[in-house]
Chain A
Amino acid sequence: DTGVSQNPRHKITKRGQNVTFRCDPISEHNRLYWYRQTLGQGPEFLTYFQNEAQLEKSRLLSDRFSAERPKGSFSTLEIQRTEQGDSAMYLCASSPHGSYNSPLHFGNGTRLTVT
């Protein structure tokens, strides 16, 4: 068990560019979550998958954001036409099933800076 892996760890991009982040969850986990976090704040839910199905997407998420988990394993999060307000830490987490008591295993995030 190597834990949840996220790449890249850091991304600096210019406003208007597209960026894509990757998350590799713990292999036997079927639930995968994406969160956004700004400095000193709690995680803000973006979306989650059960296997390859995207079950929920936050209403706060604009159409510029899209996530995929094509084979039910790794996931990608793409942000199109980035804006400065997109600068944040993007966290991925996985869990073995959907019980509230199942802990989330987080990766170390991708820190995005939009200049």
Chain B
Amino acid sequence: TQLLEQSPQFLSIQEGENLTVYCNSSSVFSSLQWYRQEPGEGPVLLVTVVTGGEVKKLKRLTFQFGDARKDSSLHITAAQPGDTGLYLCAGGPSNAGNNRKLIWGLGTSLAVNP
């Protein structure tokens, strides 16, 4: 069974600080998606990474896919209160056959205090 472990589980920081959240597995993924979810809403896709070593930037957010495609990180620079939410990673397993079902991490709950 493929698993995705996210860390930290909870993070509370002050506005302006930098942070990194991690998504790790012992398994290889064909791609990895990052979502952000705000209270009372569904997750919204932030980015998809598909190539080992790939780095993608979305304004103050930087996403990296590990060289071996087993892990990923999300770095936020100068966090703002609007970044508050649950950050979820989801991987497309490389051995799923016909079952095209994402594997989800449990999420990192981020609170950015003004």
Spell out A's residues near B (CB within 8 Å): 4, 31, 40-45, 48, 55-56, 91, 93, 98-101, 103-109, 111
- Of all chain B residues, the one with the shortest Cβ separation from A47 is B101
CA distance A46 to B34 in the complex (A): 20
Task: Report whether A104 and B102 are in contact in the complex, using a CB–CB cutoff of 8 Å.
Answer: yes
B40 CB contacts on chain A under 8 angstroms: 108-109, 111
**Given A40-B109, A43-B88, A107-B42, also A101-B50 (CB < 8 A):** yes
- Against A, the Cβ 8 Å flags (1 = close, 0 = not) of B62-97 are 000000000000000000000000101010110000
> B residues near A, CB below 8 A?
6, 30-31, 33, 40-45, 48, 50, 86, 88, 90, 92-93, 98-102, 104-107, 109
Q: What residues on A are CB-neighbors of B98 within 8 Å?
A: 55
Q: List 23 A-B contacts (CB under 8 A).
A: A40-B86, A41-B107, A42-B6, A42-B88, A42-B104, A42-B105, A42-B107, A43-B43, A43-B104, A44-B104, A56-B101, A100-B31, A100-B100, A101-B50, A101-B92, A104-B33, A104-B43, A104-B102, A105-B45, A106-B43, A107-B42, A108-B40, A109-B41
Question: Min CB distance, B103 to chain A, in Å?
Answer: 9
Q: Is the interface of A mostly helix, strand, loop or mixed?
A: loop
Check if B48 sits within 8 Å of A55, measured CB to CB: no
Smallest CB–CB gap between A75 and chain B, Å? Answer: 15
List, in ascending order, chain B residues with CB within 8 A of A103's CB: 33, 45, 48
A102 to B98, CA, bound (A): 15
Contact B44–A99 (Cβ < 8 Å): no
Given the known inter-chain contacts A4-B42, A55-B99, please indicate yes or no for A101 contacting B48, CB distance below 8 A.
yes
Other than A41-B107, A55-B99, A103-B48, give 16 A-B pairs with Cβ distance below 8 A: A4-B42, A31-B100, A42-B88, A42-B107, A45-B101, A48-B101, A55-B98, A99-B100, A100-B100, A100-B102, A103-B45, A104-B33, A105-B45, A106-B43, A108-B41, A108-B42
